[in-house]
Amino acid sequence: MDGQRPILARSCYQALFLGSTSSPTWQLTWRNWAPLNSKFFIWLASLDRCWTTDRLARHGIQHDPDFSLCSQEPETLHHLLVGCAFSKITWHEILSWCRATVTPPDGSATFFTWWSESIDSSPASLRKGISTIIVLTAWHLWKHRNACVFDGAQPSNTVLSRDIKLEARLWARAGATGLANILRVT
């Protein structure tokens, strides 16, 4: 009877997950040193659940159609994270600040495709740190967008880059050793 307990426990545990779905980006989302609020944002983004103007329009919710960071294209999550000129400048600034050879997104691939390809092409010892800085940058892009939309803040790559670098340094000091390995101390 005691030999059957591990088998029963395992089969019960596996039964809990029958019919569940998994995200192809779950490892990117959850296996990094970024704060949980950043990871939660990335998870929502992977499910296309962030309230950008295109999502508001799809749900028939009244909204301002102008994109608050560049006013060049309708606001979509893809545009915000990798397609917008404002975002591209931010990505270039942050990724050139790090000791990693990751090419900034050019908008041709989705955020998650670009992220996955960037991680796959990086040395294994730097992957977790690179993934963390990507999550922090995406999260801060979203927060900066929200500050512009809801608080009337003016888009500023300088302010945004400073905030991302500050938070990255704080997380490195708090023990995110992989992140510390890719940061330039300035």
pLDDT (average), residues 80-103:
92
pLDDT for res 22? 64
pLDDT (average), residues 149-178:
92
pLDDT (average), residues 20-45:
84
pLDDT for res 58? 85
pLDDT for res 185? 58
- Residue 8 corresponds to which tokens in the numbers above? 């029963």
Q: Are 127 and 100 in contact (CB under 8 A)?
A: no
Q: Are 49 and 56 in contact (CB under 8 A)?
A: no
- Residue 65 corresponds to which tokens in the numbers above? 């159609």
- Residue 70 corresponds to which tokens in the numbers above? 């560049």
* Residues listed for the chain: 186
